[in-house]
Amino acid sequence: MPLARDREELQRNVDESLAGVEDVAGTKAATLSILVRAASQQERADFASAQASYREFLDAAGDGHELAFLAREGLALALEAAGDTDAALAELEKLTGSEGDFYRDQALWQRARLLEQLGRTDEALALYRQYIVEFPLAEKSMARAEVKEHLGKLDPTAIPPEPPPGMGGLQGLVPP
C-alpha cells in the first residue's frame, strides 16, 4: 500500500508502482495492475483511458477471473460517465447473469438506475420489482436502501410493508 503525504504524491507512487509491474507482462501481478490502472484513471476522470484499461483487463483475464465483475462494473461506470449510457447498460446486462449469480443484486440496481435516468421508467420499475423478488427488502443486500428509495418514488405501492417490530429476541425477558 503506497504511503504519501498528499494525493499528488500518492498518485505518483501508484503510477511508479504500476510502471514497475508492467515490466513483467503476462504475470498475474501485471494483469491485476491493469485493473488498478483502470481504477486510477477512473478516479482522475480519464474515462476514455479507464474504458480502454478495463477492456484490456477483461481481454487479458477473461470473464472467469474472480475480479472480472469489478472490471465489468468499472467499464459500465466509465461509459456512463462519458455519456454512453446505452453501452453502459450493455455491460451491466453482461454482469447481471442469472438468478443467484454473484453481484447480480448490484447489476440489477445499476441497470434500473440507468434506465430510470433515461426516462425508461417501465423498464426500470420491472428491474426494481425483480430485485425485491430476488433480494427481499427485509433481508440485507448491497443495494437494498437505494432500490427501496427509488422504487418508493416511482411506485410506493410496490414497497412491501415493514414487518411489525418483534420482541427483540430475549431483550426485555432476561434481566441485565
Q: Which domain holds residue 132?
A: 97-157
Q: Is residue 2 located within the same domain as residue 78?
A: yes
Cα first-last separation, the chain? 44
Q: Say if residue 80 is in the same domain as residue 145.
A: no
Q: How many domains does the chain have?
A: 2
Is there a single domain that holds both residue 63 and residue 9? yes
Q: Are residues 34 and 103 in the same domain?
A: no
Query: At 1, is the pLDDT very low, low, confident or very high (cuts 50, 70, 90)?
Result: low
- What letter would DSSP give residue 136? -
Could you tell me if residue 140 is inside a domain? yes
The answer to whether 107 and 97 have CB atoms below 8 angstroms apart is yes
- pLDDT band at 7; cut points 50, 70, 90: confident
7 shares its domain with 78: yes
* Residues 56, 108 within the same domain: no
Structure confidence at residue 136 (pLDDT): 93
> Is the domain of 80 the same as that of 123?
no
Q: Is residue 172 part of a domain?
A: no
The set of residues, in sequence order, having a beta carbon less than 8 Å from that of 19 and lying 6+ positions away, is none
Is pLDDT at 163 greater than 80 in this prediction?
Answer: no
Average pLDDT of the residues in 89-93 = 97
Given 62, 84, 106, which residue is the final one in a domain?
84
Whether 77 and 16 map to the same domain: the answer is yes
Task: Tell me the average pLDDT of the chain.
Answer: 88
164 belongs to a structural domain: no
pLDDT given for residue 61 in this prediction: 95
- The reply to whether 3 and 79 lie within a common domain is yes
- Tell me if the pTM is above 0.75: yes
pLDDT at 171: 52
The pLDDT assigned to 165 comes to 67
